[in-house]
Amino acid sequence: MRPRSSGPRVVLRADGGHAVGAGHVMRMVALADAVTGAGGEAVLLIGGEAGPLRDHLSTRRIATIPDDEVGPAPSREDDVATIARHAAATGAELVVLDGPSFTATHVDALTARGLRVAWVDDTATAPLPAPIVINHNLGAEELAARYPDARHRLLGRAFHLLRQEFRRQTAGGAAIRARGRRVLVTMGGSDPAGATTRVIGALGRPALDLHVVLGPGFRCDDELARALARAEARGHTIHVHYRPPGLPGIMAACDLAITAAGGTLGELGYLGRPAVAIAIAPDQIENARRHVAHGLACLGRPLAEVSDAELDDAVHGLLADLPRRRELRARNAGLLDGRGATRVLERLVA
């Protein structure tokens, strides 16, 4: 029998898949990295489409649970029972919830079983009665009053949940090159809005070196294949990275990124990469706008409100504007130090 760790023991429950993306799961992975780094034990339960995400995490020191343990849409009662069962088996007294499926019932039922509950949020529009809330988004400090039930509010970039593979990269990344043409296209862990296809189709001349990342929740389709073929015919060089294990390195090497306005914006900021941000989901709109308002990204509007010409102009205009790209790198430098997950864990186990 394996001896139980002396460090913190935590059950992490996140939603993931094509429809909701991979961001909720990846934040929990960052927290699990901090737990295992402190000599503890983390159990990750994934609801939704767990298979591709769990496979993507197979090399990490995290106990990820088979699909049928949680299921794509578990009832609240079954979900709570599964979480409580793994907490008991692990000896964990702390549960962290991250995703759209959770309700006050989850918090109340888990609390009644003697578990401490922390909740990861993005918008503060429907706060749960959890005693601990984590919102690592830019400007989240301004939302403190919207979490009236929380005794501990871990808000803002100081608590950004950045995974260990990003922390291995140099903060701020490489210097900005004068002649930039290497462009990253990433919509995060999945792309239910079909934004990748739209972006690729919008990019005209001059020719670019396009690196297209398809995350673990991505579903490839004929429309994307046709868009890539047409982009190649227009003179662009195409590199497709499907579930790449070396994603931080690919991101760090780009001259500019076209990205959804979720957690990827924070990762790109840590790496000092200039970004054209687009909101592909309602909960990304405010984050996109805040990044632009703080001079940390360009564009920052919902994709549905941006024409192909505007998107193309934003990308080629930024590539041609060396002082602006250097300014974006400088403004992002220092906002993330890579210790956010460690700070969160310290507060959770205090």
| Residue pair 45/15 in contact by the 8 Å Cβ criterion | no
With a cut of 60, say whether residue 308 has pLDDT above it.
Answer: yes
Domain that holds residue 98: 9-165+337-349
Give residue 205's pLDDT.
Answer: 86
Q: Residue 318 class from Cβ within 10 Å (0-12 exposed, 13-18 middle, 19+ buried)?
A: buried
Q: Are residues 311 and 345 in the same domain?
A: no
Q: Are residues 28 and 59 in the same domain?
A: yes
Q: Are residues 147 and 259 in the same domain?
A: no
Give residue 334's pLDDT.
Answer: 82
Each residue's pLDDT tens digit, 213-232: 998 888 878 999 999 999 99
The C-alpha atoms of residue 335 and residue 244 are separated, in whole angstroms, by 26
User: If you ran DSSP here, which 8-state letter would residue 73 be given?
Assistant: S
2 falls within a domain? no
Strand partners, 42: 10
Mean pLDDT of the 161-176 span: 93
What percent of the chain has a predicted confidence (pLDDT) above 70? 93
**For the chain, how many structural domains are there in total?**
2
1 falls within a domain? no
Q: Residue 138 class from Cβ within 10 Å (0-12 exposed, 13-18 middle, 19+ buried)?
A: buried
Q: Are residues 186 and 267 in the same domain?
A: yes
CATH of the domain at 29: 3.40.50.11190
Q: Phi-psi region for residue 124, left (φ > 0), alpha (ψ -120 to 50) or beta?
A: left
Q: What is the mean pLDDT of the chain?
A: 92
Q: Are residues 178 and 154 in the same domain?
A: no
Q: Are residues 161 and 26 in the same domain?
A: yes
Each residue's pLDDT tens digit, 59-113: 666 665 554 566 566 788 999 999 999 999 999 999 999 999 999 999 999 999 9
User: If you ran DSSP here, which 8-state letter would residue 321 be given?
Assistant: -
CATH of the domain at 316: 3.40.50.2000
Give residue 223's pLDDT.
Answer: 94
Q: Are residues 134 and 215 in the same domain?
A: no
Q: Are residues 290 and 244 in the same domain?
A: yes
Q: Are residues 210 and 278 in the same domain?
A: yes
- Which 3 state secondary structure label does DSSP give 348? helix
H or E segment at 175? none
Each residue's pLDDT tens digit, 17-58: 888 888 999 999 999 999 999 999 999 999 887 776 776 676
Q: Are residues 123 and 137 in the same domain?
A: yes
Each residue's pLDDT tens digit, 110-129: 999 999 999 999 999 999 99
Residue whose C-alpha is closest to residue 303's, from 261, 251, 337, 265: 261
Give residue 220's pLDDT.
Answer: 77
Q: Are residues 117 and 193 in the same domain?
A: no
